[in-house]
Amino acid sequence: MTAQAPHIVAVRGPVVDFACDGALPAIDDAVIADPDGLAVTCEVQAHLSETRFRAIALDPTQGLARLMPARLTGGPLAVPVGAAVLGRMLDVRGRTTDGGPSLPADTPRRAIHQPAPPLGTRGAEVHLFSTGIKILDLLAPLVQGGKAAMFGGAGVGKTVLVTELIHAMVTGYDGVSVFAGVGERSREGHEMLHDMANYGVLDRTVLVYGQMNEPPGARWRVPLTALTMAEHIRDADGRNVLLLMDNVFRFVQAGAEVSGLLGRMPSRVGYQPTLETEVAALHERITSGARASVTAIEAVYVPADDFTDPAVSVISTHMDSTVVLSRDLAAQGIYPAIDPLRTTSAMLDPAIVGADHARTAADVRELMEHYDELRDVIAMLGVEELGREEQLLVGRARRLQRFLTQPFFVAAPFTGMEGRSVSIADTVAGCRAIIDGQCDSWPEEAFYMIGTLAEARARAQGAAA
């Protein structure tokens, strides 16, 4: 090794310092440490002097030592894209982790750092993304190229909801789903892989995981790897993509770890000073293209249920729809356990969804809010103590709550109930009929776990007979 060749000068955990006598690599360029041995991929984060630069490792650094040679790649980390990655589980560098064969050598590659598409190239038309899930389509409608956040803890049906959305994209839009597992457990990754295979959607799904035991740099860049694969499918293949990220809060946490390791001064609540920039750089790339779109649905952990947390606040500013999952509803057997009062969407505009849809959604929320106010009174005194008008409203709210449940296709093997997909028009019409009192004589049980209102009518007629 000559003195002029790039080499390692210091290793401190996942932070590696290099020296080279030539031009320094650009920020975000990839550097391969010990290319003939461990081949640890690092990403340049700072220039220390005219001959030294600092990088964050995307692989474990055990075994690296001073004076080991390094290779400058001349560009950012590039990951495989295209048809070869469909049906596979990959890591942040695009290596397969599902035990299957390696990707073909001629698989095209694309850099994970890309600029956001210019405004002039984005699709101008707004197209609703119909999920077939009644409560989502009614209260938190998604648009193709939009972004939605799901706030929910463990055990409230978040994974089942995500999997059902993958099923909706694959079956309804001939699209592809890309799942980014940020800081996930290895068990969860393999469970997701087997679930996708069992549901028959794996051949149009890509799974990208940065596991909990990996260095913070790997967890920090996993969303960019998944987004790069999604962008290629959108731009090169012209197919719609559903990008699911679980959990975006861990992406922010990994960025905070990297920032601390690099010695940067922390910002509010200990977060990195570049929090807004990092979140914006990720989300501004999620949009519609000329022929197709990338639609994102992200799971977001809320620390201590504090929605004013800086990370939650920054992520929320980029969202079109906010979906809140309720543990109380899950305990009552109301699935999907989506809280109708805390779930909102900027797309609930008469100019986008239509006047009837917007008015019905507002009436549903108003009725459910009135029912929520009366729940304590009902629990203490019973519904019989309410006035006649209040009893009617409570009955309609309970029927509405049950009507907004539905069996999922991906849960059919466990529930024994065939899944239902309901159009937006049928959802709005059913809710309007309940609100207007057309179903007051039907038993509440007729509305539980059904698709359209026609099923409730058939159940009610069967019960009467």
Residues acting as catalytic residues:
158, 184-185
For residue 68 the two structure tokens come to 């080991």
Instruction: Give the β-pairing of 241-246 and 52-57.
Output: unpaired
Q: How far apart are CA 329 and CA 324, in angstroms?
A: 11
Q: What is the CA radius of gyration of the chain?
A: 25
Q: Residue 28: which residues within 8 A CB-CB, separation 6 or more?
A: 43, 44, 45, 76, 113
The pair of structure tokens assigned to 455 is: 């099923």
DSSP result, 150-214: EE--TTSSHHHHHHHHHHHHHHHSS-EEEEEEEEE-HHHHHHHHHHHHHTT-GGGEEEEEEETTS
Beta bridge partners of 296: 147, 243
Token representation of residue 167: 């099923």
**Whole-number Å distance between alpha carbons of 57 and 14:** 5
Q: Using CA atoms, how far apart are residues 151 and 361, in angstroms rounded to an integer?
A: 20
Cα–Cα distance measured from residue 52 to residue 48, given in angstroms and rounded to the nearest whole number: 5
Residue partners of 154: CB distance under 8 A and separation at least 6: none
